[in-house]
Amino acid sequence: MELLQRSAAALAVIDVQERLLPAIPEEPRASVLRNALILIETARALGVPVLASEQYPKGLGPTVPEIRAAIGDRFAPVEKLAFSCGRSPEFRTVLEGTHKRSIVLCGVETHVCVLQTAVDLVSEGYRVFVPADAVASRRPLDWERGLALMDKAGVVVGTTEAFVFQLLERAGTDEFKRISKLLR
């Protein structure tokens, strides 16, 4: 296993939408939102590209305001009907345009869109990283089995903090001081 390196990394925020997020129980919902925001802030501070997807926004609504605001003026979600972002030609075009081969995935639901995206990207030769505390499902068993299936498929399953520190690489920098405050 290799560590996540910022020079090769992109972040994809998957389907954190207004009608989908409330279906997630309170504790995992709060965790996925908090940790997605930490990942976005880290990515922005380090110059890591941030992508976003929306699954059938006509039915599931737009991305939640907190995520839209955190991504900022670069927010341009890719609308999709396929569960996997990897099967959306529009998403593939945006991802390929980053020229990054390591992808951190966060969002919902772990066992559907995140899992299918992760497996498709691994099969395309991407290195995929999924922080378990930045993905969620409506049911605990789906979250647990989704992570297990990703691990079996070659996805690196870790935590938000583990991946943030891999991207930071060292202490003592202005970036470290700014980002480490978010992890408290």
Q: Has 106 been annotated as catalytic? A: no
Q: Which of 106, 113, 120, 133 is catalytic?
A: 113
123-136 burial: b if 16+ Cβ within 10 Å, else e:
eeebbbbbbbbbbb
Q: Is 80 labeled as catalytic in the residue annotation? A: yes
Strand-strand pairing, 127-131 and 156-158: parallel
Which of these, 27, 14, 7, 18, lies nearest to 131 by C-alpha position?
14
**Strand boundaries in the chain, DSSP class E:** 9-14, 50-55, 78-80, 102-108, 127-131, 135-136, 156-158
Taking the C-alpha atoms of residue 157 and residue 99, their distance in angstroms, rounded to an integer, is: 22
In the structure encoding, which two tokens stand for residue 162, read together? 């583990």
Is 15 marked active-site?
A: yes
Nearest residue to 132 (alpha-carbon basis) of 120, 179, 123, 149: 149
Residues serving a catalytic function are 15, 80, 113
